[in-house]
Structure 1
Amino acid sequence: MRERHRGPYQSAIAPSIAARAVHLPTDVLAVADAATFEITRFDAMVGADLTPFGAILLRTESASSSQIEHLTSGAKAIALAEIGGSDQRNAVEIVGNVRAMRTAMNLAEGIDDELILAMHAALMVHDPATAGRWRSQQVWIGGDNVGPHEAAFVAPHHARVPDSIDDLLGFIRRDNIPVLAHTAIAHAQFETIHPFIDGNGRTGRALMHAMLRTKGVTEKVIVPIAAGLLTRVDDYFAALNAYRAGDPAPIVNQVAEATFTALANARLLVEDIHGIRARWESVIRARRGSTPWRLIDIALRQPVFDATTAAKALGIADSNAVRAINALVEVGVLTEFTGMRRNRLWQAREVLDALDDFARRSGKRTHGN
């Protein structure tokens, strides 16, 4: 095998795009503009809802983005990992993606190299040797782990990464490109630079959400674009390859079409969660505004939790949290699933099922013509 990896090889060079004119077909611009409008409409509608959809959608987008990289896990395992109750590797890595997405949404000073490094550091907290650091070695996609000679894509030499990132940031700061087209092209350029040893795809998709936030397209929630990309993942990767060959239209079109698919799926999730909440409210016996009612939002936001997590979120003592939890257990809103007297954990099974249904719909992959 090593014989095949001897001799020179060619790596990509990310083109300078900071000042490059962007030319796209009118039909691609039209679908991108329509998708941008739908994102804004969805953000306004869901953002005004009292249900904590921000946290719900952030988790679903993180899981979908991870699934593109073949990191899959059920909603229960992810929720467990969020409170430190699971060491299942995929779930732990997906929680890292939740942190990366949250970092992208909490940007204060705009998008710069520090934000990108912070997103990567949040994502790769399990790998402190590389987390939040530009790569210092050659990386490639496809082929094998021995060398890059048979790879589908060999990323630019690591010495080029800092300058290429500076050029990308110059492109991101522009204000003369339609928003979704701007976001999709920046994402494709980031994936071409491939600035990290691992976690490039997940960081790059978090970067898209950071751009949508800074451009004012989203203000309250994350629109799960990765869930749409996941349904046609082969077309998504083909569009990235087309960009590297000099054609930006396919990646803009893919991101726009993925947005429509993702929004259709997200609206079903919103409908499911509304139905769950309505059922809960119909069975709770405590007076409205009491602690069990306040606990509903915690159960929607974090559908697996222990007493300490609930108490901290509600700002009350653990013993009071347990009383509220028991009130919801009595009416079937929550179930305890450890069977232990100590270190007990509760779940909102209906919410977990809704999240898993969303993931199944996202995972139904199709192929374009």
Structure 2
Amino acid sequence: MTSASEAWPALEFEELRWQSRYAESGPRAARRDVVSERYEAALPPTIAQRSLRPSAEVAALADEASTALARFDDSLGNEVAPFAALLLRSEAAASSQIEHLTASARQIFTAELGGEGKRNASEIVSNTRAMRTAIELSDELTTATVLSMHEVLMEHDRRHEAGRFREEPVRIGTSGRTPVGAEYVVPSWERVPALVDDTMTFARRTDLPRLAQVAVTHAQFETIHPFTDGNGRTGRALLQAMLRSNELTQNVTVPVSAGLLTDTAGYVDALTAYRRGEVDPIIRLVSEASFEAVGNARELVEEISAIRAAWRTAVTARSDSGVWRALEVVARQPVLNASTLAAEMGVDPKNVYPHLERLVEAGVLAKKNEYRHGVVYRNDEILRALDAFAARAGRRS
């Protein structure tokens, strides 16, 4: 019996011509000749008006995952502020880790202070900004939104054009010189703007099962591969924007990418299955990743809550002291300097030094003079909790 999920259209292909002055083999003299070869590029179906009917089993799983996301988001109540910032950064770090960009929590937060930092940490900071942009623009799921996310993500990468669709063929599984023989050649660049417009029309619909819609939009976006680089991170930022737009999350960024990290091979397989016309695998995987994300994030929230409670025992001050406001900043920014703290508190930098010194004396902050950043303060407990979160995300449950 044919399942409803199999009605989704499979990827088609079109034959294109590749011309190059460099052959892949042969004597050097021949490499100066123009070589013309044929190859097949992906031709994704349009999806803007298509029905989306996953199998009953997967639809039920997606509904349960949607409920889990919404309940976790709602459970934070009045404690959203510190957790929103930490979970957003954790999602950006996990999304980057899928692309083999890893850095410790300390390196990432130090890179946020500005100046030169480790390359991976700096790229993860850019991904955090792209995630934040995605959330801010979640009410505007348009092609312009996608370009804005990519522009923020890639603004410091001189090798690629930030916020612009590619104007060249991109392929997977072959030499950088030619798409001929590639494992997968993404759609012709001329088709990209219309395909992304079509995908974002699908993303804005209000008549579809919400988490299934999020998963399929993400898979279609990755199939189109609209940029020369940053497609995966931009696509996962779009996923977060859709979770917010669909009101599955309203307060925090639930780190679904951290859930996907538990099975990156399955993630690739699900995207490949989508291109064959199967929607169940990607919907199932995003649903399972949502459960993983909620469990991992809940553990992080409990750890951070315990750390913050211990601070209130270690620090003694009047109830109206600014040191309590400073502690709230430390909870969401565990590596900072006087300028960062002053900006977050809205006061003059000279007024935060007494708070910083009090927190150093209480053992909440460690103080260090760093070469590129001057005097930096950090809380190692929060940083360890974030690194433990990342380690859990990378383990198969």
- 5+ residue gaps in structure 1? none
2:145 to 112, 115, 121: 115
Match of 2:9 in 1: none
Match of 2:10 in 1: none
2:118 to 42, 65, 88: 88
2:386 to 334, 352, 355: 355
Distance 1:57 1:37 in 2: 19
Match of 1:20 in 2: 50
Cα contact 2:107–2:121 (8 A) shared by 1? yes
TM-superposed CA distance for 1:85, in Å, is 4.6
Cα contact 1:47–1:53 (8 A) shared by 2? no
Distance 1:292 1:134 in 2: 47
Change (3 A) 1:6 1:71: farther
Superposed CA offset, 1:200-246 (max 9, x none): 00000111111111111111100100000011000001000000111
Change (3 A) 1:108 1:9: closer
2:136 maps to a residue whose letter is: N
TM-superposed CA distance for 1:301, in Å, is 1.1
Distance 2:278 2:152 in 1: 32
Distance 2:81 2:308 in 1: 8
Match of 1:3 in 2: 25
Change (3 A) 1:224 1:116: same
Give the SS at the match of 1:232: helix
Q: Which runs of 4+ in 1 moved over 4 A?
A: none
Give the TM-score normalised by the residue count of structure 2. Answer: 0.88
Are 1:324 and 2:346 an aligned pair? no
Match of 2:234 in 1: 203
TM-superposed CA distance for 1:8, in Å, is 1.4
Cα contact 1:77–1:86 (8 A) shared by 2? no
Match of 2:212 in 1: 181
Distance 1:339 1:228 in 2: 34
Are 1:296 and 2:327 an aligned pair? yes
Cα contact 2:223–2:275 (8 A) shared by 1? yes
Change (3 A) 1:319 1:269: same
Higher strand share: 2
2:78 maps to a residue whose letter is: A
Cα contact 1:329–1:335 (8 A) shared by 2? yes
Are 1:336 and 2:367 an aligned pair? yes
2:172 to 141, 151, 160: 141
Change (3 A) 1:27 1:109: closer
Cα contact 1:333–1:348 (8 A) shared by 2? yes
Distance 1:216 1:363 in 2: 27
Distance 1:147 1:31 in 2: 42
Give the SS at the match of 1:316: coil
2:203 to 133, 155, 172: 172
Match of 2:131 in 1: 101
Distance 2:155 2:349 in 1: 29
With 98-107 and 45-54 compared, the bigger mean Cα shift is at 45-54
Cα contact 2:244–2:250 (8 A) shared by 1? yes
Cα contact 1:303–1:352 (8 A) shared by 2? yes
Are 1:42 and 2:76 an aligned pair? no
Match of 2:104 in 1: 74
Q: Please give the root-mean-square deviation of Cα atoms over the aligned residues, in Å.
A: 1.8
2:42 maps to a residue whose letter is: A
Give the SS at the match of 1:344: strand
Match of 1:190 in 2: 221
Give the SS at the match of 2:375: coil
TM-superposed CA distance for 1:63, in Å, is 0.1
Percent identity of the aligned residues?
A: 46
Give the SS at the match of 1:338: strand
TM-superposed CA distance for 1:272, in Å, is 0.6
Distance 1:180 1:62 in 2: 20
Aligned residues: 365
Distance 1:47 1:219 in 2: 11
Distance 1:160 1:339 in 2: 49
Match of 2:339 in 1: 308
User: Following superposition of structure 1 onto structure 2, how do residues 250-261 of structure 1 map, counting pairs within 5 Å?
Assistant: 250-261=281-292
TM-superposed CA distance for 1:40, in Å, is 0.4
Distance 1:292 1:323 in 2: 8
Change (3 A) 1:78 1:236: same
Match of 2:279 in 1: 248
Match of 1:264 in 2: 295
Match of 1:214 in 2: 245
Give the TM-score normalised by the residue count of structure 1. Answer: 0.95
TM-superposed CA distance for 1:52, in Å, is 1.3
